[in-house]
Structure 1
Amino acid sequence: MPTLEALFLQLENVKVIDDSIPNSQYTPLNLSISNPDLSKIDITDSKIFEDFIENHLQKNKAKVAFGGYNEERNLYKSSLIFNDDEKEERNIHIGMDLWIKSGTSILAALDGTVHGFDFNAGKGNYGPTIILKHSFESQIFYTLYGHLSLESIENIEIGSIFKKGQKIATLGDATVNGGYSPHLHFQIIKEIKDYLGDYPGVCSKKDLEYYLGNCPNPNLLLKIH
C-alpha cells in the first residue's frame, strides 16, 4: 500500500483558502529564529506583526504569505501554553501557516466529515478550530484548520459532510485567534488519538521526530511553489 505522502503527490488543485487566489500570488515567509528582521519588532504584538505581514505581502506583490512547517520560532515565548517550566519548551511549528486578512473563506482540502471542533481560547492558542476526517485509498487521516472566526463553529456539527473545495469557515482576527495576526494554521494528522477539536501544532525538539512522522508536510497536498 502506498504511503499517505505518496498518495498526496497524485492529487491536484487542493486549496484551503479562497480559491480565487492563484498560487502565483503566494509568497514564502520565514518566521524562524534565523530571520534577523523579526528581532527588530515585537512579534508578540498582533498589530505590529500584522503590519509586518502586510509589508511583506506588498513588497512581494502577493496576497498570501505561507510557510512554517518544521520551523523553529521565537513567536511562542510569551505564551504559557508553550513554555511550562516543568516541560521542555515547544517552539517548532508542525503545520503550515497561510497569512491573509480576517474574514477570508476557508475551504475543505478534500472530501471529509467533521471529526471535532472547539474554541481553544488563550494567548497563543488556536482559537476556533475545526478538524475534518478523511478516507482516501483506504487510508484514514485528518486535517486541522485553526485560528478561525467564532461564527465558523456556531452552526457546525460532528459528522457534517464537506466536499473538497467547499467553504467550511472564515478566518478570525486577533481578538479570537489566540492573539495572532490573521492566518490559517493548516495541519495534516495521521493518528489523532483521543483529540477532537484540538491537536498540538507546535512541538519540542524531543518530540520532533514523532510529530514530523505523524504530521506530514501540508505542502505535499497544497503544492504551493
Structure 2
Amino acid sequence: MEHVAPLLAALKSHKGQFAPVVPFNPGSDQLLPLDFTAANLALTDEILNDNALFSAYINRRLSEAGARYGIGGYNEHRTIYSRSTVFDNASGTEPRRLHLGTDIWGKPHTAVMAPLDGFVHSFGLHPTLGDYGAVIILSHQLDRQSFFTLYGHLSLGSIKNMFEGQRIAAGDVFAEFGIPQDNGWWPPHLHFQVMADMQGWKGDYPGVCAFSERDKWLENCIDPDMILNMNQYL
C-alpha cells in the first residue's frame, strides 16, 4: 500500500506526542509483558476454557509482578484463540491465530482515552465468545494522512450514547474496559489496533488473521506502539 509510507512517516514524526490511551504513569506504574504463544506452557487449555480461571491467571501474574497492566500481542502467533470458533475458518482451512493489535490487560472499567483528535467512524457489539464485545473505531487525520484506531472489549456503556461522526478530542475519556459479560467473555483488557484503511469494514475489523496472510494484514495494521509508546517501559 503506497499510502502507508506517508502515514508511517507522520506517526514517527509525532512519536511521544500522543495522549495516553489508558491512565499510565511511567514513573510509578509497572508493565508486564504477557506471552500468549505456545511457548507459554503455564497457560493450559483448562485455563483458557474457563473464564474465571483465565481472569485469575491474568490477575495473579499482574499481582506477582506489581504491575498495573499486562501488555503485548502485536504480531504474535497465539494459541489462546483455540478457545473460540470465532477464529476458525468456515471451510475448515487454516484458523486465524496472528494478532494484529496490542492488548492492554488491567482492571475492569479502566478508562480509555483518545490518543489524538478524531471522530467516531463506527461502533458495534459482537457478543459471541472470543469476539470483541463492544467495539469503537475512530477516524483521524495527522499531517494530512488519514487512519483509524480500534478499541475492542469495551463495556456496553461505552457505546450506549455514541453516534457516528461524534467528535472525540485528544485525551477525552470515551470508553472503558468491559467485564467478561460485555467484552466477548475475556478477562478485562483493551484491544488497541491501528489501521491505515478500513477496507470497507464498519463497526468491526479483524483483529486476528491467518498466519499465512500475515504480511498482507500487517501492511495495513500498523504497530500500535507507534502511538502507545509504552513498550519502552517494559
Confirm whether residue 153 of structure 1 aligns to residue 159 of structure 2. yes
Please name the residue that 2:68 is paired with: 63
Question: Which of 89, 97, 111 pairs up with 1:91?
Answer: 97
Q: Which whole-Å CA distance do the structure 2 matches of 1:4 and 1:193 have between them? A: 16
Q: Which whole-Å CA distance do the structure 1 matches of 2:199 and 2:189 have between them? A: 26
Unaligned 5+ residue runs, structure 1? none
Q: Which whole-Å CA distance do the structure 2 matches of 1:140 and 1:73 have between them? A: 30
Q: Which whole-Å CA distance do the structure 2 matches of 1:105 and 1:139 have between them? A: 27
Is residue 44–residue 75 contact of structure 1 (8 Å, CA) maintained in 2? no
Confirm whether residue 46 of structure 1 aligns to residue 43 of structure 2. no
Is residue 142–residue 189 contact of structure 1 (8 Å, CA) maintained in 2? yes
SS at match of 1:146: strand
Q: Which whole-Å CA distance do the structure 2 matches of 1:144 and 1:194 have between them? A: 14
Matching of residues 9-48 of structure 1 within 5 Å: 9=12, 10-12=14-16, 13-19=18-24, 24-39=29-44, 41-48=46-53
Is residue 30–residue 67 contact of structure 1 (8 Å, CA) maintained in 2? yes
Runs of 4+ residues over 6 Å off in structure 1: none
Question: How large is the RMSD of aligned CA atoms in angstroms?
Answer: 1.8
Q: Which whole-Å CA distance do the structure 2 matches of 1:90 and 1:71 have between them? A: 11
Please name the residue that 2:190 is paired with: 184
Confirm whether residue 165 of structure 1 aligns to residue 171 of structure 2. yes
Question: Aligned residue pairs: how many?
Answer: 225
Please name the residue that 2:107 is paired with: 101
The structure in which a higher percent of residues are helix is 2
Q: Which whole-Å CA distance do the structure 1 matches of 2:200 and 2:156 have between them? A: 23
Shift of 1:41: 4.7
Please name the residue that 1:221 is paired with: 227
Unaligned 5+ residue runs, structure 2? none
Shift of 1:49: 1.1
Shift of 1:118: 0.6
Q: Which whole-Å CA distance do the structure 2 matches of 1:196 and 1:223 have between them? A: 27
Please name the residue that 1:4 is paired with: 7
Normalised TM-score (structure 2)? 0.90
Q: Could you tell me which amino acid in structure 2 is paired with residue 70 of structure 1?
A: N
Q: Which whole-Å CA distance do the structure 2 matches of 1:168 and 1:20 have between them? A: 19
Confirm whether residue 140 of structure 1 aligns to residue 143 of structure 2. no
Q: Which whole-Å CA distance do the structure 1 matches of 2:88 and 2:15 have between them? A: 38
Identity %: 36
Is residue 21–residue 63 contact of structure 1 (8 Å, CA) maintained in 2? no
Normalised TM-score (structure 1)? 0.94
